[in-house]
Structures are given as structure tokens and as C-alpha cells.
């Protein structure tokens, strides 16, 4: 059997791939463990499906978390659906706040008046099916 350098190259690439996979999974597990340390009663959290609330109680035995989503409204969810502790940073609400933070200029783009011909119907607009293309502009039908 002759020496084949491509076989060695394939083996090296395969070993590198396996090493990177183990390393990536270890990083993800470490990050998940750090996030779980922050999940304690009294912390505001966000779930996988976008529900925000404050943890009132944790049931480690049955893997449930009880979160208060409104005053007096407590829901029971599975602990694995808790995504993370909610961020305290709030996004700026207005353009002025963005510019004050150095967000740059705000550019407003106006629609081009010549983008669609006047004879063609707009998206979602009904037209009279009795008109023909030769007759020019289509007649609009009121609902």
C-alpha cells in the first residue's frame, strides 16, 4: 500500500473538528451554569418565549419556577424555559437620546413618488376585473 498524504490530512481535520466540538460544548455548559446561579427568587427573568417576570419561588424537586408577571398574577413554568436574568440596561426610547449618546445622525428616507406607475394597483388594492389592459388605468373597487 502506497503512502497517501490526503488520508493523513483528513485524519488531522477530523481530530481538529472533534476537539473544537468538545471545547464549544464545554463553553456553553459553563455559560449555562453561570446563568443558573443568577436564577434565584426575587430576580427579574426572561423566558424562552419572551415572558418577563420576577421569580417568587423555585421548586427544584419538580423543576418548576413560579414567576409573578403582574401584581398578584403568578404563573408556574418549567425551569428549563427560564432563559436569563433580565438586563437592567434600557434601550433609549427617542431619537434625541440616541444622538445624545453619540448614536450618529438620523436619516429619514421618503418614499419615491415614481417607484410605481399610477395605473398599476398598489399591493393589496382591489381592481375591477371587467377592465382590460388596453383600456388604460384600472378602476378601483370600493369594499
Per-residue pLDDT of the chain (143 residues; tens, 9 = 90+): 677 889 999 999 999 999 999 999 999 999 888 888 888 888 899 988 888 999 999 988 998 999 999 999 999 999 888 888 876 544 445 555 555 665 555 555 555 555 555 567 778 777 776 765 555 555 555 55
* 3-state class percentages of the chain: helix first, strand second, coil last, to nearest 5: 30, 20, 45
**How do the domains of the chain map onto residue ranges?**
1-37
Residue 68 contacts residue 56 (beta carbons within 8 Å): yes
The per-residue pLDDT for 16 is: 95
Where is 70: in which H helix or E strand? strand 64-70
Which alpha helices (H) appear in 39-113, and where do they start and end?
95-100
Q: What is the pLDDT of residue 122?
A: 76
The C-alpha atoms of residue 64 and residue 48 are separated, in whole angstroms, by 15
CB atoms within 10 A of CB 54: 15
pTM of the model: 0.45
Query: How confident is the model at residue 10, as a pLDDT?
Result: 94
Amino acid at each position: 500500500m502506497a503512502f497517501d498524504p490526503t488520508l493523513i490530512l483528513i485524519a488531522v481535520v477530523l481530530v481538529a473538528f472533534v476537539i473544537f466540538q468538545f471545547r464549544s460544548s464545554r463553553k456553553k455548559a459553563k455559560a449555562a451554569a453561570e446563568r443558573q446561579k443568577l436564577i434565584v427568587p426575587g430576580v427579574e427573568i426572561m423566558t424562552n418565549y419572551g415572558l418577563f417576570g420576577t421569580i417568587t419561588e423555585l421548586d427544584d424537586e419538580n423543576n418548576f419556577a413560579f414567576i409573578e408577571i403582574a401584581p398578584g398574577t403568578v404563573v408556574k413554568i418549567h425551569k428549563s424555559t427560564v432563559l436569563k436574568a433580565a438586563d437592567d440596561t434600557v434601550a433609549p426610547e427617542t431619537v434625541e437620546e440616541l444622538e445624545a449618546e453619540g448614536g450618529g445622525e438620523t436619516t429619514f428616507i421618503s418614499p419615491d413618488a415614481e417607484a410605481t406607475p399610477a395605473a398599476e394597483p398598489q399591493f393589496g388594492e382591489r381592481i375591477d376585473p371587467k377592465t382590460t389592459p388596453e383600456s388604460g388605468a384600472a378602476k378601483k373597487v370600493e369594499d
